Amino acid sequence: MNNNQANIKENNEYVQSHNNNIADDEIDLRELFAVIWQGKWLIIAITALFAVASVVYAMNQPNIYKSEALLAAAEQEQAGGLASLAGQFGGLASLAGVNLGGGSSNKAQLAIEVLKSRQFTSDFIQKHNVLPDLMAAKSWDMQANKVIYDSEIFDAQNNKWLREVQAPFKPKPSMQEAFKVFSKIISTNTDKETGMVTLSVEHVSPYVAQQWVSWLIKDINKTMKERDVLEAIKSTDFLTQQLEQTKIADIRAVLYKLVEEQTKTIMFAKVRDEYVFKTIDMALVPEEKFKPKRALIALLGTLLGGILGMLVVIVKYFIKKR
């Protein structure tokens, strides 16, 4: 009997303690709202400060324009003949350095990787002399249609670099620095279902963005064409030497066929400008900016200010309370 009374008393004490804790939590929550309300002017001030700062920041950001082109992998007419030879004479062809197994999709993927390479980027920048537009462009003058350069980085009138940097860097940006920046503004996206490739460039000038996309397509087609022609010429020279050294009729027939396919490769390369990529939708000069999203920047800055203001008020209250 005494044990039952003790258990009942213990349960009552637990329930009362639990109710007191709930009440304390409710009081703490009300207290928290009261603290925020008391510090509302500080919160409003901090929020307003962040809102103004975010608006100023957003307005000072230059417009970035994005130009893009839709590309398709060019069909390789000689692929059928090469594929038929691959199964029969793949080993012999590999000795000659002849590639018999590459389809148009593989060549397109290889071209994309070449496009992203340091060597291709360096050659592109130097060939078209776009280093100032890449590394020193600050904004775009719409009326005059010209790029405005950062005067602390580049003197356009005297064509002189003015950057203040520490060794090993120099006032004129290196190709390694240019490659890092170029990699951020160029993008390629391959549709897995259709195989279509979207090539895009972002820049403060819509005309520069459009021009670079056109140059990139032209240059990558030319680069891949030259690579294949050089490889075919070397393979043809090797096969010709083998023809002179062998007297076996069957092997000579195979070698003649391989030479024929390499001759086709050279012929197709020379008569085709769009060697790897065919332009389905050419790059246009964009009329609307791609970024920044100024309204979003201002909204996020305001929300951040409001949250920070409430945290400041709450922290100040609990510091005083202690």
- Which pLDDT score is estimated for 121? 96
CA angle 257, 262, 263 (to 5 degrees): 95
Measure CA 19 to chain center.
Answer: 58
Each residue of 273-286: pLDDT tens digit? 888 999 999 999 99
**Cα–Cα dist 61/72, whole Å:** 35
**Cα–Cα dist 80/86, whole Å:** 10
Instruction: Tell me the β-bridge partners of 189.
Output: 198
Q: Where does the pLDDT of residue 77 fall: very low under 50, low under 70, confident under 90, or very high at 90 and above?
A: very low
Each residue of 152-202: pLDDT tens digit? 999 999 999 999 988 888 999 999 999 999 999 999 999 988 889 999 999
Q: Which residue has the tokens 């800055």?
A: 301
Each residue of 22-63: pLDDT tens digit? 444 444 778 788 888 888 899 999 999 999 999 999 999 999
Domain 65-281 class, CATH top level: alpha beta
**Cα–Cα dist 235/100, whole Å:** 12
Could you give the C-alpha distances from 166 to 132, 169, 170, 181, in angstroms and in order? 20, 6, 7, 19
The amino acid at 196: M
Q: Which residue has the tokens 């020193």?
A: 136
Neighbours of 269 (CB within 10 A): 20
96 versus 247: the higher-pLDDT residue is 247
Average pLDDT over residues 95-105: 50
CATH 3.30.1890 range(s) for the chain read 65-281
**Cα–Cα dist 304/51, whole Å:** 9
HSE toward the beta carbon, residue 92, CA cutoff 13 A: 18
Beta pairing class for 277-281 and 146-149? unpaired
3-state SS assignment for residue 65: strand
Of the candidates 68, 63, 65, 96, the residue with the CA atom closest to the CA atom of residue 82 = 96
**Ramachandran angles phi, psi of 36, nearest 5°:** -65, -40
Cβ distance 213 to 126 under 8 Å?
A: no
Which segments of the chain are extended strands (E)? 65-73, 137-141, 146-149, 154-155, 160-161, 186-190, 197-203, 277-281
Indicate the pTM of the whole model: 0.76
**Cα–Cα dist 100/218, whole Å:** 25
Cβ distance 194 to 67 under 8 Å?
A: no
